C-alpha cells in the first residue's frame, strides 16, 4: 500500500456512502426491508456491501434479478420511503470528514460529490450532516448517461468545477470509485474504513488512508 503523504490538489471529488457518510447499516436494512415487503430472497449483508457504489437499479438487479421499469419503480419507491423513515437513526459522518472539508474550504480548494445516490436523498443528508456548504457540484445518476465505474461521472464533475483532471483527487471506498477516477485520468485515494478490503479493488489507488484529515497534511 502507498502510505505516502497525500500531495496538494486543486479539486477533490468524494463518493458519498461509505466515504463521507457512514450509512452501511441503513443501506443493509433498506434492502432487507424491500425484499421482505415484496417476498423476495433476502440478500446477505456481504453481498450488499460489495455492490454499494452501483446505481440503485443495478444493486437491486444483483439481488432480485432483472427488473421491468414498473417493478423497479415500485421497489425503489418502497425502498426510499423506508430509508427516509429511518435515516436519522443511522446517518453519521465518517472519521475526520467535517474537519477535512473545512480545511480544504479554508485553503480555497473546490470539492464535488460524485455518487450513485440520487440527488434527493444526497441533498438531505449533506444538509443534515452540515457539510453541504463545502460542495460546488453534486454529480448523481441524474447527471450522466453512464455511471461508475465508467469515467463519465468524474469527467462531468471536473467540467462543472471548471478544472483539470490532472489536478484532481477522487476519494472513495469501493472499486467503482477507484476505477471511475483512474479511467478518467485522476489520482485516487481509497479509504481504509471501507467495508470492502483493498484486495477487492480492480485498479490500484494512488493513496490509501485511514482518516479524512490525511488530505490536509501537505
Domains of the chain: 11-22+92-216 (3.40.50.1000), 24-90 (1.10.150.240)
Q: What CA–CA distance (Å, rounded) separates 173 from 164?
A: 23
The mean per-residue pLDDT over the stretch 70-84 comes to: 98
pLDDT by residue (tens digit) across 25-46?
A: 999 999 999 999 999 999 999 9
How many Cβ atoms sit within 10 Å of the Cβ of residue 75? 21
Whose CA is closest to 137, among 9, 29, 2, 11? 11
CA distances from residue 197 to 173, 193, 201 in whole angstroms, order as listed = 9, 9, 8
Q: What is the pLDDT of residue 4?
A: 59
Q: What CA–CA distance (Å, rounded) separates 203 from 201?
A: 5
pLDDT by residue (tens digit) across 101-160?
A: 999 999 999 999 999 999 999 999 999 999 999 999 999 999 999 999 999 999 999 999
Q: What is the pLDDT of residue 154?
A: 98
**Quick one: how far is CA 137 from the chain centroid?**
14
Indicate if 15 belongs to the active site.
yes
Q: Which position has the grid cell 472519521?
A: 95
The mean per-residue pLDDT over the stretch 193-215 comes to: 93
The model carries a pTM of 0.94
CA distances from residue 44 to 62, 96, 166 in whole angstroms, order as listed = 12, 29, 39
User: Does 5 score more than 90 pLDDT?
Assistant: no
**Quick one: how far is CA 23 from the chain centroid?**
10
The mean per-residue pLDDT over the stretch 200-218 comes to: 92
Average pLDDT, the chain: 95
Catalytic residue from among 15, 17, 22, 173: 15
Point out the least confidently predicted range of 144-153, 180-189, 191-200: 191-200
Q: What is the pLDDT of residue 198?
A: 92
Q: Which position has the grid cell 474550504?
A: 105
User: Does 2 score more than 60 pLDDT?
Assistant: no
* 58: CB partners within 8 A, 6+ apart: 51, 147
**217 confidence band (pLDDT: 50, 70, 90):** confident
The mean per-residue pLDDT over the stretch 162-185 comes to: 97
Q: How far apart are the first and last CA of the chain?
A: 19
Q: What is the pLDDT of residue 3?
A: 53
Q: In what order do the strands lie in the sheet with 168-172?
A: 137-139, 110-114, 11-14, 168-172, 187-191, 207-209
Amino acid at each position: 500500500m502507498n502510505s505516502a503523504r497525500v500531495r496538494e490538489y486543486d479539486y477533490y471529488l468524494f463518493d458519498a456512502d461509505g466515504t463521507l457518510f457512514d450509512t452501511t447499516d441503513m443501506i443493509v436494512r433498506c434492502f432487507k426491508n424491500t425484499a421482505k415487503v415484496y417476498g423476495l430472497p433476502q440478500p446477505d449483508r456481504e453481498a450488499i456491501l460489495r455492490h454499494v457504489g452501483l446505481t440503485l437499479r443495478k444493486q437491486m438487479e444483483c439481488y432480485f434479478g432483472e427488473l421491468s421499469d414498473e417493478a423497479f419503480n415500485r421497489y425503489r419507491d418502497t425502498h426510499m420511503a423506508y430509508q427516509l423513515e429511518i435515516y436519522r437513526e443511522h446517518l453519521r459522518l465518517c472519521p475526520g470528514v467535517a474537519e477535512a472539508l473545512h480545511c480544504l474550504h479554508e485553503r480555497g480548494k473546490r470539492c464535488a460529490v460524485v455518487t450513485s445516490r440520487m440527488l434527493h436523498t444526497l441533498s438531505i443528508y449533506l444538509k443534515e450532516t452540515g457539510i453541504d456548504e463545502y460542495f460546488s457540484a453534486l454529480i448523481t445518476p441524474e447527471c450522466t448517461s453512464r455511471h461508475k465505474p465508467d469515467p463519465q461521472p468524474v469527467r462531468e464533475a471536473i467540467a462543472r468545477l471548471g478544472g483539470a483532471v490532472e489536478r484532481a483527487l477522487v476519494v472513495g471506498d469501493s472499486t467503482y470509485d477507484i476505477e471511475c477516477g483512474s479511467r478518467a485520468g485522476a489520482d485516487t485515494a481509497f479509504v481504509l474504513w471501507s467495508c470492502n478490503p483493498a484486495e477487492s479493488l480492480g485498479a490500484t489507488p494512488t493513496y490509501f488512508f485511514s482518516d479524512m484529515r490525511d488530505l490536509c497534511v501537505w
